Amino acid sequence: MTKILVFANHLGENLSSGAREALAFGARLASSTGGEVRAVLLGPVAASVAKDAIACGASIVYTVSNPLLDEFDVELYVNSLFEVIEQTTPDIFILSFDKIGKDLAGRLSTRMGASALTEVVDYKINDDKLTWIRPIYGDKAFGEYSTTRSKIVLGIRQKSQDEGNPVESRIGEIIPIDYTVPEEMAVTKLVVKIQAALSDIRLEDARIIVSGGRGLGGPEGFKELEALASLLGGAIGASRAACDAGWVPSNLQVGQTGAVVSPDLYIAVGISGASQHLAGITTAKTVVAINTDEEAPIFKRANIGVIADYKTVIPSLTEKLKKVLV
Ligand SMILES: Cc1cc2nc3c(=O)[nH]c(=O)nc-3n(C[C@H](O)[C@H](O)[C@H](O)COP(=O)(O)OP(=O)(O)OC[C@H]3O[C@@H](n4cnc5c(N)ncnc54)[C@H](O)[C@@H]3O)c2cc1C
């Protein structure tokens, strides 16, 4: 029986959407391999969130309830997760390949002596052999991979799985793991928290995103986008060029090395549509592109294209929408 362990990260008292996806993937895999899915939760509220992990398919949830694990610290998390892995010996360790998962996957697979595969979206079983599917070439194709080591770490691509519906009545077991993570292992310390986001809506959860790129010409361009986004109840996103220029915080970056988003509506303003940016919006339902260059690659992805200067389009669109929506 394949032993599957999922890292179910949580934001406050709720499982992250990435954790729900990782659990859904684990549960699907367990049903194909005849096994069961177990989960691990870290932090002082782990025990109270554990029932959500059970509702999402975990049969057993291991918790390491240490106050030091309240905030993400890569060294403390790696040590705690590795302790649980050593005690429970999973064959497959699954995590969401979100910002935290990106920090953990490589470190954990090295400690475990495991093969690691990231951005995994699916699997296949041929003659009892598992292979893993992930997008390649900037999402232009899918690759099918087998692994050479007996242990595997899988990073599940964000927004690639149906989170499914939690079954509150599911019964499972919660097992506290007695491990006191040594404080001296923390090599970094959180000194101060800075409110970075331009809106309260998390990019990954936003149904509408208005995203700006280098074509905005400076940070003031984002003020126009903010007005539109707040009118639509959406969030602000950005290309890496806009983040690297310091116009907006880096946590607004959408793309391969930023957030992978899945909104109903993605408005790309002054963004050329580099493959690394498009990798973050593959599952966006409707993409509207506003760009002065009719040859910009973003128009190949866009459902609606506006070839124009954003400075004329955005203010008049905002004004028109105000009349309809307010
Ligand atoms: C390993 C790696 C990872 C990367 N990861 C990411 C990532 O996660 N996310 C990401 O975004 N990028 C990423 N990049 C960078 C990516 O390759 C591009 O450089 C970046 O996306 C370009 O940003 P942009 O579209 O804002 O800028 P540009 O490519 O410079 O495009 C600006 C666009 O604005 C248009 N424009 C100019 N003026 C106006 C105007 N007044 N009105 C309307 N349109 C106008 C122009 O026609 C142009 O198309 C990565 C690159 C590498 C190598």
d(CA 254, CA 243): 10
Q: Whole-model pTM above 0.85?
A: no
The pLDDT confidence band at residue 295, using thresholds 50, 70 and 90, is very high
3-state secondary structure of 124: strand
Which pair of tokens denotes residue 131? 């292979």
Instruction: Report whether pLDDT(223) > 90.
Output: yes
Report which of 200, 194, 198 is spatially closest to residue 211, judged by C-alpha positions.
Answer: 198
Q: Which of 187-191, 236-240, 287-291 has the lowest mean pLDDT?
A: 187-191
As a whole number, the mean pLDDT across the chain is 94
**What residue spans in the chain does CATH classification 3.40.50.620 cover?**
3-185
CATH topology of domain 3-185: Rossmann fold (3.40.50)
Q: Region 273-301: what's the mean pLDDT?
A: 96
Q: Region 236-265: what's the mean pLDDT?
A: 95
CA dist list (Å): 69 to 7, 66, 106, 237 = 14, 6, 20, 29
The pLDDT confidence band at residue 214, using thresholds 50, 70 and 90, is very high
CA dist list (Å): 138 to 21, 117, 286 = 22, 16, 19
DSSP strand E in the chain: where? 3-7, 10-11, 14-15, 36-42, 60-64, 92-96, 115-120, 122-126, 129-136, 141-145, 152-156, 173-176, 208-212, 235-238, 265-269, 286-291, 304-307
d(CA 57, CA 24): 7
The pLDDT confidence band at residue 173, using thresholds 50, 70 and 90, is very high
The pLDDT score that the predictor gives to residue 199 is: 64
DSSP-assigned letter for residue 270: S
**Residue 260 · residue 280 · CB < 8 Å:** yes
Nearest residue (CA) to ligand 1, atom 14: 276
Nearest residue (CA) to ligand 1, atom 29: 272
Which pair of tokens denotes residue 321? 């929408």
CATH code assigned to 203-325: 3.40.50.1220
The pLDDT confidence band at residue 187, using thresholds 50, 70 and 90, is confident
Backbone angles phi, psi at 254, to 5 degrees: -105, 135
The pLDDT score that the predictor gives to residue 197 is: 56
* Total Cβ atoms within 10 A of residue 80: 23
pLDDT in tens, 65-113: 989 999 899 999 999 999 999 999 999 999 999 989 999 999 999 999 9
The pLDDT score that the predictor gives to residue 186 is: 83
Instruction: Report whether pLDDT(196) > 70.
Output: no
Which pair of tokens denotes residue 81? 């997760």
Q: Region 211-224: what's the mean pLDDT?
A: 97
Nearest residue (CA) to ligand 1, atom 36: 215
Atom number of ligand 1 nearest to Cα 254 = 9
**What residue spans in the chain does CATH classification 3.40.50.1220 cover?**
203-325
Amino acid at the residue 287? V
Judge if the beta carbon of residue 253 lies within 6 A of ligand 1. Answer: yes
Judge if the beta carbon of residue 290 lies within 6 A of ligand 1. Answer: yes
Instruction: Report whether pLDDT(253) > 60.
Output: yes
DSSP-assigned letter for residue 205: G
pLDDT in tens, 114-129: 999 999 999 999 988 9
Judge if the beta carbon of residue 293 lies within 6 A of ligand 1. Answer: yes
Atom number of ligand 1 nearest to Cα 242 = 26
Burial of 24 (0-12, 13-18, 19+ CB in 10 A): buried
pLDDT in tens, 42-60: 999 999 999 999 999 999 9
Which pair of tokens denotes residue 310? 């954003």
The pLDDT score that the predictor gives to residue 181 is: 84
d(CA 77, CA 9): 11
Q: Which of 291, 307, 317 to mutate to test the pocket of ligand 1 (most atoms within 8 A of CB)?
A: 291
Which pair of tokens denotes residue 16? 């992250």
* Total Cβ atoms within 10 A of residue 272: 19
What would the DSSP string read from start to end of 137-183? TTTTEEEEE--SSSSEEEEEPTT-S------TT---EEEE------G
